Amino acid sequence: MNTLDVRSIPFEVPSYSLTGDILSYLRCGLQYRYYNGSALPPSRPIQMWTGEFTHGVMEEAFRFWQSHLPAFPWPCNMTPWPPDLTLPLQESHDIGVLGHRTEVRLAAGGKRSRSQDARRAAYDRVGAAVNALGPHLFPLIASAEERISGTRLMPLLPPGVHARGDRYELTGIVDVITSMAIDAQSPNVFIQIIKDRLPNIPDGEYDVIVDYKAGRRPPLGSEFRDRFTWQVQTYAWLRNQVSTNRKVGAGVLIFINELLHSRSDFEDLQREVKSMQTDVIPTVGSADYYAIHGWTPGSQVPDLSLDFRLRRALMIIDTSDALTQQAVQHIDQVVSKIESSASYEHDTGAIQTNWPACGEVQDCDACDFSHHCPSPAKIRAAQKKNPTAPVVRFPPDAPG
């Protein structure tokens, strides 16, 4: 009897997006496989809305400022909710108009805010971001939303894993490339904070990568802090491969929530400041110090100084050659794990035993496949609290 050979994995140059693949896999490998491997979009893409809304409005605001140079602050008058899917005809620096234009584009892709409260919070925060950051950031922007890519040798894979190629492509979209003279005497707030955090960087002309994050500054020791740092350092490595580009002198992550705190944000801030779990704390005896230490949960969130909020919002990333090399080596390790999971699935035909379910509770809440997940976040959290409970090692034969 003749037998049919199993079809091998096609030889190709696999392409990996830093956010769509690398960070998504690190968030939850099994969720990544179901959505990306099956090419199925989430049925409830609300978890994407806030981040894409923030990026969209910041880009709209910069382009309007570039063309018309209106003075700050800008107004923010929201349109009725939900949006009527009609683009506003007038051009305006009203953040409500810019936000509505962004909402129309997102709604066309099936992405809407989960509630009126969430929508209001997003408008308030992006309004605070435009008015706090715009005067300092917009004059420095050389390019908004730039696509970058490069290739790397395929990392060493475990024995028995079938490589799809001898190298892979790494791609990303940088929110903003700024061009600036980093000088200790500069009056620009961005340059001052960069020089303060990276005092050893020589004065000179550099490009700086800026990436918006619709969230709060991660505490010290957070794995998200490490992942965001690797992301920006890898962007720097990719851009530095083009010899005609100016050297990337630093990266800046902008955490929008730090410019306008919710009550839950402020609870986290107070806890982290008191326990020294954050790297930006108020000066002892300052108004910000007393506002944070004296606040009681449930009361109105106090107004912190703009200087402190900007320093909380801007996380400066060292993009020196040694650190960017370490970052791309971390990315290589993640690519190795993804390639291995894909190979094991190809050989066994099984998905759940070869892709790690490692998401947090909020990831499970927004996942269409959580009802049949072999390792829900709530169960893993309970097992950590109760070490006598049997701990299931998932998956038993997966890489890494």
Contact 74, 94 (CB under 8 A): yes
Tell me the average pLDDT across 259-270: 96
Out of 82-91, 165-174, 260-269, pick the least confident. Answer: 82-91
Tell me the average pLDDT across 291-313: 95
Tabulate helix, strand, coil % of the chain (nearest 5). 45, 15, 40
If one counts the domains in the chain, the total is 1
Inside any domain, residue 132: no
Contact 158, 343 (CB under 8 A): no
Domain span at residue 150?
Answer: 140-325
Instruction: State the chain's mean pLDDT as an integer.
Output: 88
Contact 374, 332 (CB under 8 A): no
CA 245/CA 255 separation, integer angstroms: 27
pLDDT score, position 140 = 93
CA 392/CA 375 separation, integer angstroms: 8
Out of 2-6, 208-212, 304-308, 311-315, pick the least confident. Answer: 2-6
pLDDT digits (tens, 9 = 90+) for 354-399: 999 988 887 887 788 888 888 888 888 777 767 555 444 444 444 4
Tell me the average pLDDT across 12-31: 90
Integer CA distances (angstroms), 273 to 266, 280, 298, 304, 315, in order: 10, 8, 18, 14, 16
Tell me the average pLDDT across 221-225: 92
pLDDT category at 242 given cuts 50, 70, 90 is confident
pLDDT score, position 134 = 96
pLDDT score, position 381 = 75
Tell me the average pLDDT across 58-64: 96
pLDDT score, position 43 = 55
CA 189/CA 122 separation, integer angstroms: 24
Inside any domain, residue 234: yes
What is the pairing mode between strands 167-182 and 15-17? parallel
pLDDT score, position 244 = 78
N-term to C-term CA, the chain: 40
Integer CA distances (angstroms), 141 to 28, 192, 203, 250, 296, in order: 34, 16, 19, 14, 40
Inside any domain, residue 272: yes
Q: Which two tokens stand for residue 289?
A: 């110090």
Query: How much of the chain, in percent, has pLDDT values that exceed 90?
Result: 61
Inside any domain, residue 390: no
Inside any domain, residue 400: no
The larger pLDDT score, comparing residue 397 to residue 212, is at: 212
pLDDT score, position 170 = 94
Tell me the average pLDDT across 73-89: 84
Ramachandran area for residue 204 (φ above 0: left; ψ -120 to 50: alpha; else beta): left
pLDDT score, position 399 = 42
pLDDT category at 41 given cuts 50, 70, 90 is low
Inside any domain, residue 284: yes
pLDDT digits (tens, 9 = 90+) for 106-157: 988 888 888 899 999 999 999 999 999 999 999 999 998 899 999 999 998 9
Inside any domain, residue 360: no
CA 179/CA 188 separation, integer angstroms: 13
Q: Give Cα 128 to chain centroid, integer Å.
A: 19
Q: 19-37 in b/e burial notation, b at 16+ Cβ within 10 A? A: ebbbbbbbbbbbbbbbbbe
With 0.85 as the threshold, say if the pTM is over it: yes
pLDDT category at 38 given cuts 50, 70, 90 is low
